[in-house]
Structure 1
Amino acid sequence: MKSFLALPIFKDIRFWIILFFLVRMYGITNPPLEVAHNWRQTTGTMVTRNFYEGSANILYPRIDFAGEKTGITGMEFPLLNYLDYCVSEIFGYRHWYGRLINLIVSSLGIWYFFRLLKRYFSPETAFNASIILLASIWFAYSRKIMPDTFATSLVIIGFYYAACYFEEQKRRWLNLVLFACFTLLGVLAKLPAGFLLVLYAFFILNRYISIRLKIVFFTVSGMILAPIAWWYFSWVPYLVEKYQFWHFFMGKPISIGAKELVDNLGDGLKHFYDSALKFAGFGLFLAGLFFAFRKRDKLLLRILGLGFAAFLVIALKAGFTFTHHSYYIIPFVPLMALAAGYGVAGFRNKTVQIILLTLIVLEGTLNQLHDFRLKEHEAAFEKLEAYMDSFSKRSDLIAVNTGDNPTAIYFAHRKGWVASNDELLNASFREDIHQKGCKYIVILKRYLGGELYLPLTRVMDTEDWAVYKL
């Protein structure tokens, strides 16, 4: 077995990146109804579909659950959604293009992560860390229609070209341009991914790098940060104010976030020891810290210390939201994977290293296979559009009893309101949305586990939903 694993192909990280890519192609065309965060995906897919069916102006993303309003609102820069739209312009709209785009970019991110680590750490550490990152929370989220691994990958790619700019004379200015492009797009796509930019301090403080190169880099970095700041701190608030619909979470005061983190400390810590790398991976992360202290590896310890300090700001700004959503840990996972890979390399016996990596991969992937399945009680959502088309027009506004979850609105291919059962039982609320143009109320029976009877005319009744006419 050991001699079999010693074959050159198994030592090539490209083999593992391709293998993990192919594994995650399973169910790639599935609707966004898997177990974890399908609401987060459908919020994005409706933006893509609105680009395709309406205005394709990337500055005005639209969602479908803003009631009678236009749906235009401030949100993350919709780069992933717009790439999905561009592919749809060629082949026709399919939601799963977003899955494939994310998977491709996230796989390239692993390749650049490996190449970047090889510049500063041993090939063993780079290989181990890349394998661990493949099996981490990235395993599931890199095939979701969400920008988290997508954006972090773009920032990692940008970091690689920044390193080339500082350390190689060949194609220096091309590397600077590539750094600027990938970093700009990555941070625009997901603002928390920008915390990794703090690690550029190692280049800036390096006295062996010329002042001239640093000044140019500072200048270009300022040019990158300007449009990012404009989008998130000027344009997003403008869209919210002008179109009167708030959707995108921009954080809260650090004092409030800190209190929420303390109050929900167990859930927040769980993202580090469970969600990120699972238990075996976290154990090797701790081993990596131990080996780094014992060997006095200042580079690794400074990367982790500075990175954690910067990421802590993200967590403090998010507060309860950080503890509640596991995907918030994603930008920090590459640093944890680096430490874990360093920990595996600290065991000199090759057999032990193989066993540890195998354990991490098996635990990480097997504990995420559930995310390749669809939620049984939401599977019928795929038929909702066809049923609604049988008696209503696409332009009809509807209300759905899914609380804050917009998934059913997306699958109904209509616009309107998401509401709780209590709201829909309230006659004043029903009258209010009726005056604003709502024509039908869709009650999803299996979603909340029971029927909800309204004093209205029922126009459709199945085992999955009932539709009432206002």
Structure 2
Amino acid sequence: MRLHPALSGIAPRPAWLPIGLGSLLRLVQIWMPVLGIHSWRQADTAAMARHFSQAGTPIWLPQIDWSGASAGFVESEFPIYPFLVSRLYTLMGVQEWLGRGLSVLCSGLTIWLVMRLGRRWFSPESGWWAGLAFAIAPLGVYFGRAFQAEALLLLCAAGALESLSLWREQRLPWALALSWLCFTTAGLIKVIPLLWLGLPLLMVQLSTNPQNHATPWKTLLNRLMRLLRHPGFWFYISTSLGAIAGWYWHAHQLGQASGLSFGFWGSGADRSSLSLLLDLNGWINLLLRIGLRLLALVGVPFLLLGLRASWRSGGGQIAISGLLGVLLCTIATMRSSTIHEYYQLPLLLFSSPLIGLGWQNWKQHRPRWQRRLLLSLALVVSLTVLSLDYWAVEHRQRQAWMPLALTIRRDLPIDARIVSVTSTDPTLLNLARRQGWLISSKQLTPERIQRWKKAGASHLAGSFMWDKTYRPMPEQRQRILREMVDASPGAWVDPRSQTYLIPIDELHPQG
């Protein structure tokens, strides 16, 4: 990578260093089963990949595990990620590290693209530090090796921005086609990129050379009016939206037929509300999460410095429009954003180049020891957050659930239907590689037990300690479950993990 001539006296920095460091961090515990923070989302993705591989179903028929006695076809986002993983399963068997490995590959490529975006928007030096900021961000590391589509989503978003910028500069048809493909795929994986990715893509179209001064708003408005009269613009937008709408129409029909859905449409979705938007505690918690888990604390001041330095540049307009787009998406999906950390991941695409610019401006005329101290502190904060909040959780949950899951795999037939007492969390079903029902401990009524028997359920499985994989079991329900186990001669109990497996036939309604 060549540096800008204005940065004389600065030795070229190897592009492989941020990519290598980021990939190394993402390879930690890559062998782990699908457990840990947000394991429910990863479990559904892993289940889809397993069913695609074992059942040989096409990509337009995704299946999940919490299907009861049905096949499990579900209304979902476009399952390109689990389908790709299933192709790897076909070659090497069902091994979860293959899915994590695909995420690591996507994340490594995204680091490279973030470096290119930082170089394009600001300078080669800023781009290199942008890649490093992206590489060590705790949230980026965790979801850059998680068994879900977020790593592929960020890769598509970064690819859309880079390829459209390349088309603007050189008018290469393949670059425009690649931009369309990446943008459309991002919208298929998740709907909300239409906003947080659409805005910066529009700014790429309207701006001149990103490293020049910012384009005046009056000029931007005039260019926007000309762009709206261009048929190519409407062809790009209409075909992309048509493909996305076509998939979600099909997915809705699938959900209507099966009764299974991730619940992202309709009034029941409950994405946001005025009370949530006015909840100060919610915003404070969100900012704290972003500051610690996304920016590793050290990145916060450099993000502010980068914002200040980029305010009057074309690249700054693109990056800031991306931040604004993520903010608008957060407002539109406030409930989901406060619960699901990966809703903040797109911030990394736009904050990392700004952090790189802020660091580049700050470190000039600073002693080397200060720079090394801050870099070391950022890495220590990132490793501490990853160790305590993510990697350790995977270890604890592995000890809690894998003995039961392995027992089910070993002792029960592949077509056995399991009642998983884990509330709405499908993690245990996926670990056991079985389909069945999800219920909470308070739903263990004689009527439901009889209904499961008639539907073909073979066993009841769960934990004395956990109602979900992260919610402690109330003491009263613990006693009820232990009484059920004691009354069942065929029950299996693991005293170390405090999990159980009870034949449904031994659960009598009157008991």
TM-score (norm 1): 0.88
C-alpha contact (below 8 Å) 1:135/1:364 kept by paired residues? yes
C-alpha contact (below 8 Å) 2:305/2:355 kept by paired residues? yes
C-alpha contact (below 8 Å) 1:148/1:331 kept by paired residues? no
Alignment of 1:29-428 (within 5 A): 29-33=31-35, 35-136=36-137, 137-169=139-171, 172-194=172-194, 195-206=196-207, 215-232=231-248, 234-250=249-265, 256-263=272-279, 264-292=282-310, 296-299=311-314, 301-347=316-362, 348-349=364-365, 351=368, 352-370=370-388, 371-373=390-392, 374-389=394-409, 391-424=411-444, 426-428=445-447
TM-score (norm 2): 0.82
- Which piece of structure 1 moves more, 441-450 or 75-84? 441-450
- In structure 2, do the counterparts of structure 1 residues 22 and 298 end up closer, same or farther at CA, with 3 Å as the change threshold? closer
- In structure 2, do the counterparts of structure 1 residues 242 and 212 end up closer, same or farther at CA, with 3 Å as the change threshold? closer
CA positional deviation for 1:250: 4.3
C-alpha contact (below 8 Å) 2:121/2:315 kept by paired residues? no
User: CA offsets, 1:293-314, max 9 Å, x none?
Assistant: xxx5243553354323322332
- In structure 2, do the counterparts of structure 1 residues 146 and 391 end up closer, same or farther at CA, with 3 Å as the change threshold? closer
- In structure 2, do the counterparts of structure 1 residues 25 and 207 end up closer, same or farther at CA, with 3 Å as the change threshold? closer
C-alpha contact (below 8 Å) 1:458/1:467 kept by paired residues? no
C-alpha contact (below 8 Å) 2:64/2:74 kept by paired residues? yes
Distance in 2 between the 1:288 and 1:203 partners? 19
CA positional deviation for 1:18: 1.6
- Specify the code of the residue in structure 1 equivalent to 2:347: F
Q: For residue 467 of structure 1, give the secondary structure of its aligned residue in structure 2.
A: strand
Confirm or deny that 1:457 pairs with 2:464.
no
Find the counterpart in structure 1 of residue 219 from structure 2: none
CA positional deviation for 1:38: 1.9
Q: For residue 31 of structure 1, give the secondary structure of its aligned residue in structure 2.
A: coil
Distance in 2 between the 1:429 and 1:375 partners? 34
Q: 1:17 aligns with which of 19, 27, 37?
A: 19
C-alpha contact (below 8 Å) 1:251/1:318 kept by paired residues? no
Distance in 1 between the 2:184 and 2:489 partners? 51
C-alpha contact (below 8 Å) 1:204/1:214 kept by paired residues? no
- Structure 2: which 5+ runs fail to align? 1-8, 210-222, 467-471, 505-511
- Structure 1: which 5+ runs fail to align? 1-5
Confirm or deny that 1:437 pairs with 2:456.
yes
C-alpha contact (below 8 Å) 2:53/2:89 kept by paired residues? yes
- Specify the code of the residue in structure 2 equivalent to 1:149: A
- In structure 2, do the counterparts of structure 1 residues 203 and 21 end up closer, same or farther at CA, with 3 Å as the change threshold? closer
Distance in 2 between the 1:454 and 1:68 partners? 27
CA positional deviation for 1:47: 0.6
Distance in 2 between the 1:54 and 1:317 partners? 37
Q: For residue 453 of structure 1, give the secondary structure of its aligned residue in structure 2.
A: helix
- Which piece of structure 1 moves more, 369-378 or 270-279? 369-378
CA positional deviation for 1:454: 5.2
Distance in 1 between the 2:163 and 2:46 partners? 31
User: CA offsets, 1:275-294, max 9 Å, x none?
Assistant: 321221123212323444xx
Confirm or deny that 1:467 pairs with 2:469.
no
CA positional deviation for 1:27: 2.2
C-alpha contact (below 8 Å) 1:399/1:416 kept by paired residues? yes
- In structure 2, do the counterparts of structure 1 residues 24 and 254 end up closer, same or farther at CA, with 3 Å as the change threshold? closer
Distance in 2 between the 1:78 and 1:243 partners? 17
C-alpha contact (below 8 Å) 1:259/1:319 kept by paired residues? no
CA positional deviation for 1:12: 1.6
- In structure 2, do the counterparts of structure 1 residues 213 and 106 end up closer, same or farther at CA, with 3 Å as the change threshold? farther
- CA RMSD in angstroms comes to 2.8
Distance in 2 between the 1:357 and 1:177 partners? 39
Distance in 2 between the 1:255 and 1:247 partners? 13
- In structure 2, do the counterparts of structure 1 residues 58 and 255 end up closer, same or farther at CA, with 3 Å as the change threshold? closer
